[in-house]
Amino acid sequence: MLRVGVTGGIGSGKSTVSRRLAERGAFVIDADLVAREVVEPGGRALDGIRERFGEKVIRADGTLDRAGLAAIVFGDLDALAALDAITGPPIAEQVAQLRRTVAAGAVSVYDMPLLVERGLWVHEHVTVVVLADPEVRVRRLVDHRGLDERDARRRIAAQASDDQRRTVADVVLDNGATPEVLASAVDDLWTTRLAPWNDNLLAARRSRRPERNAVVDPRPDWEGRGERVVAKLAAALASHPGVSEVSHIGSTSVPGLIAKDVIDTQVGVRSLDDADTMAFRDALRDAGYLLTPDNTADRPKPGTDLDGWGKRFYGGCDPAEVVHVHVRERGSAGWRFALLFRDWLRSAPAEREAYATEKRRLLAIDDTTAAYAEAKEPWFDEAYPRADAWADATGWAPR
C-alpha cells in the first residue's frame, strides 16, 4: 500500500487535491476530521485541553470552543506546541488505526496540514505539497471561510513557510490557477506516478534505471532528493539498534559530477546479521525498498581486506526516482570506500574532473548501463591509492 502525505498551508487547496485523489480511488484520511473526533466530549484530548487552557475554551454544553482555542494558539508558539502535545498522540493513534483498515491494494492518502511542522512527512512514501501565493490564500480565507483578514494572515504566518515545505516535497502542485488546472495536475500525478508506484509495491517490483542514456548532466535537485531519501530511511530504521547511520553516497552526492540519475544511499550496520533479521527487512519493505537477494558483495579493491566487501542491496519502487540502498557493516572496507570516494571527489576538483572525463570516455565506447558500470572498475582500482593518500594527508575520517 502506497502512503501519500498531502499538505499545504491554510487556504492552499490541499483538501481539493485530496478529494480529487479520492475520486481516483485513493482512501483519504483527513487529519482535521480526526482532530475534531479526539476533542469531542469523552475523547482523550478534551480533558488535557481543559487543564492547559482553562474552562474558557469549553462551551456550556461541554464541547470545545474551537474558534476560541484557535484565537489563543495561533500566533503563540508555546500555546500551539502545548496543543500539539495534547492532541498529537491520540490523532496519530487514530490515523494508524484507520490506515490498518485500508484495503491492501489501495493508495492511502493522509491529508495533514502540519505534516511538515511535526516531521511526519518522513513516514510517507511520497509527500505532495500544495502551494499558492499567500495573497491568494488570504483572499480565499476571507471570501470563502469568513475569516478576518488580520486573523487569516496570522494563521498563515504561524505555519511552515513555503520554502520549508518545498524542502521536504517529493511533488509540488501549484494551485495558483483554475480548479481545472489543479485537477488536471492531480490526474497526471496519479496516472504517471502514484498508481504505478502502488502497482510496483503490490507486485514487489523495484524501479530500474534505463539501460541506455542513464548518465546525465549534474542536476540541482540531487542533493535535496538525497536528503529526503536519507531522512525517510533513517525514520524507517530508527527502532533498529544495529543501525549506525544513513548517508547519501555515489556520484549524485558529489556536486558538479555527471552521473546516472540514481540516488545511492548507504546504511551502516553493526553487523550484516542485523540486516538479515526479519524486522530489518520488513522495515525497509514497509518503507518501499525491496531486497535483491543475489547482490551480496562489492568487488574488492586492491590491497584491502577481501572479507570487508559484503553487503545487502535494496531497490526502491518509485517509477519517477531510482533509489539504491547499500547496507554495509560500519568500519568495513566497502563502507569506508563509499564515504571516502564521496568526500574525496567533493574536496578534490581535479580528481572529480578526471573521473568525469573517464566517464565520458567509457560512455563513448558503450553507454549500456551494465557495460559502463563494469568498465569503471579499473579506474576505481587505480584511483583508490590516491584517495587513501588524501585521507592520510587531511586526517579524513568517515562521518
- Encode pLDDT of 118-143 as tens digits: 899 999 999 999 999 988 989 899 98
Residue 26 lies in a domain: yes
Question: What 8-state DSSP symbol labels residue 160?
Answer: -
Same-domain check for residues 34 and 56? yes
As given in the structure block, the three cell numbers for residue 386 are 590516491
Same-domain check for residues 301 and 193? no
Which domain covers residue 367, as residue numbers? 215-394
d(Cα 48, Cα 173) in Å, to the nearest integer?
A: 36
Please identify, among 143, 177, 203, the residue that sits at the C-terminal boundary of a domain: 203
Q: What is the pLDDT of residue 125?
A: 98
> Residue 289 contacts by C-beta under 8 Å, 6 or more apart in sequence?
206, 233, 314, 315, 316, 317, 323, 325
Residue 208 lies in a domain: no
Same-domain check for residues 188 and 274? no
Residue 46 lies in a domain: yes
Task: Give the residue among 328, 323, 301 at the shortest CA–CA distance from 312.
Answer: 328
Which CATH number fits the domain that encloses residue 198?
3.40.50.300
Residue 358 lies in a domain: yes
Q: Of 186-200, 277-291, 301-315, which gets the smallest average pLDDT?
A: 301-315
Number of structural domains the chain divides into: 2
Please identify, among 172, 203, 234, the residue that sits at the C-terminal boundary of a domain: 203
Q: Residue 167: is its pLDDT beyond 90?
A: yes
**Burial (CB count <10 Å: 0-12, 13-18, 19+), residue 314:** buried
Residue 210 lies in a domain: no
Please identify, among 203, 232, 251, the residue that sits at the C-terminal boundary of a domain: 203
Same-domain check for residues 158 and 221? no
Query: Across the strands, what pairs with 323?
Result: 263
Q: Are 215 and 258 in contact (CB under 8 A)?
A: yes
Q: Are 10 and 141 in contact (CB under 8 A)?
A: yes
Same-domain check for residues 36 and 75? yes
d(Cα 324, Cα 262) in Å, to the nearest integer?
A: 7
Residue 99 lies in a domain: yes
Q: Got the DSSP string for 351-367? A: HHHHHHHHHHHHHHH--
What band does 230 get if pLDDT is binned at 50, 70 and 90? Answer: very high
Task: Give the residue among 341, 339, 321, 320 at the shortest CA–CA distance from 330.
Answer: 339
d(Cα 76, Cα 194) in Å, to the nearest integer?
A: 37
Same-domain check for residues 63 and 172? yes
Please count the helices (runs of H) and the strands (runs of E) in the chain: 17, 12
Average pLDDT over residues 307-328: 97
Q: What is the pLDDT of residue 84?
A: 87
Same-domain check for residues 164 and 277? no
Average pLDDT over residues 106-120: 94
Average pLDDT over residues 12-27: 96
Same-domain check for residues 246 and 350? yes
Mean confidence (pLDDT) of the chain? 94
Question: What 8-state DSSP symbol labels residue 64?
Answer: B
Q: What is the pLDDT of residue 174?
A: 94
Q: Are 126 and 5 in contact (CB under 8 A)?
A: yes
User: Of residues 74 and 105, which shows the higher confidence score?
Assistant: 105
Q: What is the pLDDT of residue 262?
A: 96
Same-domain check for residues 269 and 248? yes
As given in the structure block, the three cell numbers for residue 93 are 493513534
Q: What is the pLDDT of residue 77?
A: 81
- Each residue of 369-399: pLDDT tens digit? 888 888 899 999 999 999 999 999 999 999 7
Which CATH number fits the domain that encloses residue 284?
3.30.460.10
Q: Residue 145: is its pLDDT beyond 80?
A: yes
Percent of the chain with pLDDT over 70: 100
What band does 336 get if pLDDT is binned at 50, 70 and 90? Answer: very high
Residue 312 lies in a domain: yes
SS3 65: coil
Same-domain check for residues 230 and 196? no
Residue 164 lies in a domain: yes
Same-domain check for residues 249 and 367? yes
Same-domain check for residues 73 and 97? yes
What band does 70 get if pLDDT is binned at 50, 70 and 90? Answer: confident
Strand ordering across the sheet containing 171-174: 27-30, 108-111, 3-8, 126-131, 171-174
Q: Residue 190: is its pLDDT beyond 90?
A: yes
Q: Got the DSSP string for 79-116? A: HHHHHHHHHHHHHHHHHHHHHHTS-TTSPEEEE-TTTT
